[in-house]
Amino acid sequence: MTYGNPAGAERGPHPRHALAPLLGSAVRLSVVAALAPVQKAEFGYVRDLVEITDSALSKQVSRLEEAGWVTVEKGQVGRRPRTWLALTEEGLARYRRHLAALTAIAGADGPGHGAARD
């Protein structure tokens, strides 16, 4: 079975063009996904949730911070130093666009879905 663009049908660009290359890393995607539903999260919480080391999280957060997608706030709770992470508005918007693109790529409306497989 072949698929094509029916005569006269308008098609936009493939949804893959909306993917954020920075979120191609499963770890960075996981970090952003952990931060998306909250205003901010403590570094240790994100580290444990994503199941990575301090140094690995620090490296990935640095990349996201350089892109302007994450902010890092340092402070103290009692005498203990703490670091909080938060998505910026841009980071949240890029994450949502990335998820929408993944959904569109994998969605039931795409070629091959619902068709018989050999």
Name the residue with higher pLDDT: 11 or 36: 36
Q: How far is CA 110 from CA 5, 25, 69, in A?
A: 12, 24, 30
Q: Name the percent of the chain lying above pLDDT 90.
A: 72
Render pLDDT for 16-45 as a digit per residue (tens, 0 to 9): 999 999 999 999 999 999 999 999 999 999
pLDDT at residue 45, rounded to an integer: 97
Q: State the chain's mean pLDDT as an integer.
A: 87
Amino acid at 69: W
Hey, CA dihedral for 71, 77, 82, 84, is it positive or negative? negative
With beta carbons less than 8 A apart as the criterion, state whether 64 and 86 touch. Answer: no
Q: What confidence tier does 13 reach under pLDDT thresholds 50, 70, 90? A: confident
Q: Among 97, 38, 31, which residue's Cα sits nearest to residue 65?
A: 31
Per-residue buried b or exposed e for 2-28, using 16+ beta carbons within 10 Å of the residue's own CB:
eeeeeeeeeeeeebeebbbebbeeeeb
